[in-house]
Amino acid sequence: TVAGKTVLVTGAGGSIGRELSRQIARWTPGRLLLLGHGENSIFETLLELHENFQNLDIQPLIADVREAGRLAAIFGEYHPQVVFHAAAHKHVPLMEANPTEAITNNVLGTQNMVETADRFGVERFVLISTDKAVAPSNVYGATKRLAEMLVLDAAQRTGKLYTVVRF
């Protein structure tokens, strides 16, 4: 459960991250951290949530999951207990044309998130993945499969509640 906890959603300005944030807000977390690298999309998510959940403590955070130092600063300041990691480059044709971006964001960004979560004692970590990670046939699917493997490996190594869900 997320009630009363500090919950961090990465990719909170994206379609899945925003919907996750809406759902989480309904469960009355102690604080909801909206992390994303696009200021406009985070601002839109923030406005919507403020309108519908006036009493909820919401903190917008502009950051890139590829920047481990920034993530450490955020985790050190806000101490999230639950993390939903939805940040990803997901448009298949764009990632085929820009594989380095897909790898650095989807794989290295996830590695940064997992390592930071572990270091700061996050109780539960949920990676939002995709059905394209099953027998991947494109760059996006392959990067999401690698991200899944990183999260599942961390769960096994640490014994923590780290998991993957596919849409």
Q: What residues act catalytically?
A: 132
C-alpha atoms less than 13 angstroms from C-alpha of 166 in its C-beta half-sphere? 11
Query: Of 59, 155, 137, 139, which is closest to residue 105 (Cα–Cα)?
Result: 139
DSSP 145-159: HHHHHHHHHHHHHH-
Euclidean distance between CA atoms 108 and 101, whole angstroms: 10
